[in-house]
């Protein structure tokens, strides 16, 4: 804590120095967050903790993948097993990667095989215009499965013709190129995005080859809107240390395909939103890369979803959301067998606004195959103190069901548990935020998770431990936490000027009831302290720089610090250069598995952008 106190003190000094200068312009706060159920919500009228990352802020981060971009967000724990997010697990407020719901434009990217594939998103970074991170249960916003939180990647269609292209190269033989194009035709707005990344790897057998392509098309006509989404990705990567340190030649290949259709109809006081989607994922894992006959698993998962929601209002004070969702999940696996199950839910929200008070009451009723009918209620409320300050509080119940890997997987080191029960959580949050050039937010949260699933094994004096890992339901785990954010935005006429300074801190404590003679894979790995600082500077027309600092300490793991930097040149006829430097302190650290993350490494690249306003 002494190190953190010193860091916070220094941050306050820097912040105080910057805020002594006079700001000569005002800012327009017009950010809008689009929720998973299709009803736009003003970001500054929310009733729970959220973080919004827009395209202009994403462009300043030294990241080549969506998961890397998320690692600069307070309360979000990104565990990567390699460069460019080849396999990345996203946890929120102490929750595991299985307890975080991933979406694209409100379409759920669930995978019945394992949550390790949730971030196999077949969309390039440049295709995404906004990332919405919901911290805490998101049942009221997105439905079932978001036990600890949700991340919604949003891609907007434009009525303009534009081209955005980027190429880069760097350490470890890393290189990539991606292109995003918009070409409206007779009111049909459409966007095509393609990307390719590859690397020799930062250590033995960590090379990768990643290809992605996506298409989106949409049109409005007579109070109706139609959106079509198609996407595909192909990833091949050396998996040294991903799941075991006994076999350094592990290798994996995944192919992910997604198709989605959204159809909206607007009435005088209501909007009817319908989503139909399918997602498939092929996964081949080899214990020995060049000897598939030694040990190879092949999995093919399919998910088909239908969601229909009616959003409306009656009177000047009441709004409602009513709908249902049905999902079919299937798996054909050489290890897990032939499996299928169905999920159905009905949900309703009632929102009441009167003066400075907003209150939301929600109820979700769901049933899975072999899981009896369950109710998930939630309540949210907020009080607008004045134009700039808002208080919020919420209570929610959330859940998730076991994946097929947790239920049935078997290999020399792991054994599934077909008797696993679903996880449930009771959560509460109290928070406050102030908008303006000086943005402040603070909140306290609590989550009681029961039947929490964790992989455990009996301790052993033998090294390596010969006992198998097996998932079990832990009776109860409680998480307590605090978060705070300070962000100062500047507008100056000077040649050299700061754009913004951003500090965020998260503290968490977890209490477990656990057998001392049992080893846990996940229960003692949540964040304890997380400090993130961002400094962005503008060098007039010559370019900009952003410095990012992260202090991370997880339970039962040593703390480590990371410093990253990005320089962007000024725009010259649509072109600009950028340089990224990651882990400038050359820190030795591990985020997940047995993978040593890279030391100091660099990338240099070129951006091109062209926009034509259509007449």
Closest to 481 (Cα-Cα) out of 151, 73, 97, 93: 93
Mean pLDDT of the 506-528 span:
82
* pLDDT tens-digit map of 317-360: 999 999 999 999 999 999 999 999 999 999 999 999 999 999 99
Structure tokens at 121: 């998103």
Distance in angstroms (rounded) separating the CA atoms of residues 66 and 6: 31
* pLDDT tens-digit map of 265-312: 999 889 999 999 999 999 999 999 999 999 999 999 999 999 999 999
Please name the residues in contact with 105: beta carbons below 8 A apart, sequence gap of 6 or more.
152, 153, 154, 155, 227, 229, 260, 262
Residue with tokens 């754009």: 499
pLDDT bucket at 514, cuts 50 / 70 / 90: low
The pLDDT assigned to 225 comes to: 95
Rg (CA), the chain: 24
Q: What's the residue count for the chain?
A: 615
pLDDT at residue 34 greater than cutoff 70: no
The pLDDT assigned to 37 comes to: 63
612: exposed, middle or buried (Cβ count in 10 Å: 0-12, 13-18, 19+): exposed
* pLDDT tens-digit map of 440-455: 999 999 999 999 999 9
pLDDT at residue 31 greater than cutoff 70: no
Side-chain half-sphere exposure of 173, counting CA atoms within 13 A: 10
pLDDT at residue 259 greater than cutoff 50: yes
**Are the C-beta atoms of 377 and 362 separated by less than 8 Å?**
yes
The pLDDT assigned to 26 comes to: 34
Asked which of 414-423, 478-487, 590-599 is least confident by mean pLDDT, the reply is 590-599
Strand order across the beta sheet in which 149-154 lies: 50-54, 130-135, 149-154, 100-104, 107-108
Domains recognised in the chain with CATH numbers: 2-612 (2.40.170.20)
| Cα dihedral value 433, 152, 189, 28, nearest 10 | 10
Query: Could you give the C-alpha distances from 415 to 403, 407, 452, 524, 527, in angstroms and in order?
Result: 13, 9, 17, 20, 27
Report long-range pairs for 545-553 (Cβ below 8 Å, ≥24 apart): 546/60, 546/61, 546/62, 548/61, 548/62, 548/72, 550/71, 550/72, 551/3, 551/4, 551/7, 552/527, 553/527, 553/528, 553/529
Residue with tokens 């960590």: 206
Please name the residues in contact with 329: beta carbons below 8 A apart, sequence gap of 6 or more.
110, 112, 301, 302, 303, 340, 341, 342, 343
Handedness of CA 111, 113, 115, 118 (dihedral sign): negative
* pLDDT tens-digit map of 165-189: 999 999 999 999 999 999 999 999 9
Residue with tokens 């100062």: 488
């Amino acid at each position: 804590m002494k190190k953190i106190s010193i860091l916070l003190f220094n941050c306050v000094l820097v912040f105080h120095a910057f805020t002594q200068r006079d700001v000569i312009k005002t800012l327009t706060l017009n950010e809008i967050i689009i929720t998973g159920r299709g009803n736009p919500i003003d970001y500054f009228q929310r009733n729970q903790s959220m973080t919004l990352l827009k395209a202009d802020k994403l462009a300043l981060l030294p990241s080549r993948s969506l998961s890397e971009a998320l690692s600069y967000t307070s309360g979000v724990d990104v565990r990567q097993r390699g460069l460019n997010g080849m396999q990345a697990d996203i946890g929120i407020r102490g929750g595991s990667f299985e307890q975080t719901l991933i979406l694209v434009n409100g379409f759920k990217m669930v995978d019945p095989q394992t949550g390790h594939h949730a971030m196999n998103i077949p969309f390039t970074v440049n295709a995404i215009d906004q990332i919405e991170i919901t911290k805490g249960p998101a049942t009221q916003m997105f439905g079932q499965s978001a036990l600890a939180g949700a991340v919604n990647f949003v891609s907007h269609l434009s009525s303009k013709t534009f081209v955005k292209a980027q190429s880069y190269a760097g350490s470890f033989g890393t290189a990539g190129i991606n292109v995003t194009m918009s070409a409206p035709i007779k009111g049909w707005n459409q966007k095509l995005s393609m990307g390719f990344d590859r690397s020799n790897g930062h250590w033995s057998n960590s090379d990768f080859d990643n290809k992605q392509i996506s298409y989106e098309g949409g049109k409005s006509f007579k109070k109706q809107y139609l959106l079509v989404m198609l996407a595909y990705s192909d990833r091949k990567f050396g998996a040294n240390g991903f799941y075991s340190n006994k076999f350094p030649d592990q290798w994996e290949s995944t192919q992910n395909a997604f198709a989605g259709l959204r159809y909206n109809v607007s009435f005088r006081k209501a909007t009817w939103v319908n989503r139909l989607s399918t997602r498939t994922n092929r996964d081949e894992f080899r214990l020995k890369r060049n000897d598939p006959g030694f040990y190879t698993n092949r999995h093919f998962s399919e998910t088909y979803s239908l969601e229909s929601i009616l959003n409306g209002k009656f009177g000047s004070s009441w709004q409602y959301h009513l709908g249902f969702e049905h999902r079919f999940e299937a798996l054909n696996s050489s290890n897990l067998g032939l499996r299928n199950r169905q999920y159905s839910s009905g949900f309703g929200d009632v929102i009441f606004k009167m003066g400075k008070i907003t209150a939301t009451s929600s109820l979700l009723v769901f049933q899975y195959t072999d899981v009896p009918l369950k109710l998930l209620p939630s309540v949210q409320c907020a009080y607008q103190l004045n134009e700039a300050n808002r208080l919020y509080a919420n209570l929610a119940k959330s859940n998730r069901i076991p994946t097929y890997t947790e239920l049935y997987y078997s290999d020399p080191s792991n054994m599934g548990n077909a008797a696993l029960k679903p996880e449930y959580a009771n959560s509460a949050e109290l928070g406050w935020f102030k908008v303006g050039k000086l943005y402040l937010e603070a909140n306290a949260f609590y989550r009681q998770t029961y039947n929490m699933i964790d992989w455990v094994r009996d301790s052993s004096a033998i090294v390596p431990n010969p006992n198998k890992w097996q998932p079990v339901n832990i009776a109860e785990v409680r998480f307590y936490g605090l978060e705070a954010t300070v962000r100062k935005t500047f507008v100056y006429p000077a040649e050299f000027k700061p754009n913004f300074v951003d500090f965020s801190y998260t503290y968490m404590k977890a209490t477990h009831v656990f057998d001392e003679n049992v080893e846990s894979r996940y229960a003692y790995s949540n964040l304890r302290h997380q400090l993130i600082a961002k400094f962005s500077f503008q060098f007039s027309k010559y370019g900009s720089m952003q410095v990012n600092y992260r202090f991370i300490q997880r339970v039962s793991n040593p703390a480590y610090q990371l410093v990253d930097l990005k320089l962007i040149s000024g725009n010259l006829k649509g072109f600009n250069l950028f340089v990224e430097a990651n882990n400038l302190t050359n820190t030795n650290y591990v985020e997940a598995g047995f993978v040593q993350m890279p030391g100091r490494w660099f990338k240099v690249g070129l951006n091109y952008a062209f926009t034509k306003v259509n007449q």
